Structure 1
Amino acid sequence: MWKWRLTAVGVNLLLGIPGIVPVWLLWYFVSNGPLAEMGYTRREATENDGMMLWLVIVVPVVVVFGILWWLANGPVRRRVRLDPLLYWPAGVLLTLVPTLALIVAGSV
């Protein structure tokens, strides 16, 4: 069973590499849209196409990545035999590790 847990970690870390793109798109949309309207962030100075274009780009990318992530993790979760309330949040956090590593590396 330990090799399936290692497989689960590997699958989620590897999926986190292309997962950088949807995370960045979500941040860009939120920081230029709702957070900028509330005054928490500033809009990108060259962003003058409107947010509808970004929604047309963000939604399909995030949905496709989410489906691929779910399809990859479903069979692994059944073999790991962990509680779903533990497996799915751990999978999400492991998928975010590459993005967080880039954020830390970029701030150094």
Structure 2
Amino acid sequence: MRKLYVPVVVNLLLGVPAIVPLFLAWYILANGPLAAIGWTMQDPNENDGMLLWLVIAAPVFCLFGLVWGLINAWLRRRTQVRGSRYWPVCAAASIAPFLTIFGLL
């Protein structure tokens, strides 16, 4: 587990800007499909449709996913971790700031 310290710290730092795409994903889901099946309440002021949100969110998702994937692929090659522990640990570390800020942790 000592070998994962640097990737975990890097992914915690990457998790801070990840708050934006994760919030966008939650907003799109909460006002779209989850509201349609009755699991959430749709924002009454959200009447522009989902295409606008997808146009705004798609570049943000792609840019963050590209940066996150490239950094983690580079770190994975330099980290000698056996098995498949690297990716779940890094994904959890990246999501932790979002969950902490929104009170889910």
Q: Within 5 Å, which residues of 2 pair with 1:43-62?
A: 43-62=42-61
Summarize deviations over 1:47-68 as a string: whole Å, max 9, x none. Answer: 0111110011111111110000
Partner secondary structure for residue 42 of structure 1: coil
Letter in 1 for 2:55: V
Equivalent residues, number = 104
**Which segments of structure 1 move beyond 4 Å, counting only runs of 4 or more?**
none
Summarize deviations over 1:5-56 as a string: whole Å, max 9, x none. Answer: 2210111000000000000000000000000111111111110111110011
Matching residue of 1:5: 4
| Cα distance change on mapping 1:62 and 1:84 into 2, 3 Å | farther
Letter in 2 for 1:88: W
Q: Is there any run of 5+ residues in structure 2 with no aligned partner, and where?
A: none
Greater helix percent: which structure? 1
Q: Within 5 Å, which residues of 2 pair with 1:2-81?
A: 2=2, 5-81=4-80
Distance in 1, matches of 2:95 and 2:77, equals: 22
Deviation at 1:104, TM superposition (A): 1.7
Deviation at 1:84, TM superposition (A): 6.1
Calculate the TM-score normalised by the size of structure 2.
0.91
Summarize deviations over 1:54-86 as a string: whole Å, max 9, x none. Answer: 011111111110000011111111111224621
Distance in 2, matches of 1:87 and 1:5, equals: 7
Worse-matched range after superposition: 78-87 or 44-53: 78-87
Partner secondary structure for residue 81 of structure 2: coil
Partner secondary structure for residue 85 of structure 1: coil
Q: What percent identity do the matched residue pairs reach?
A: 45
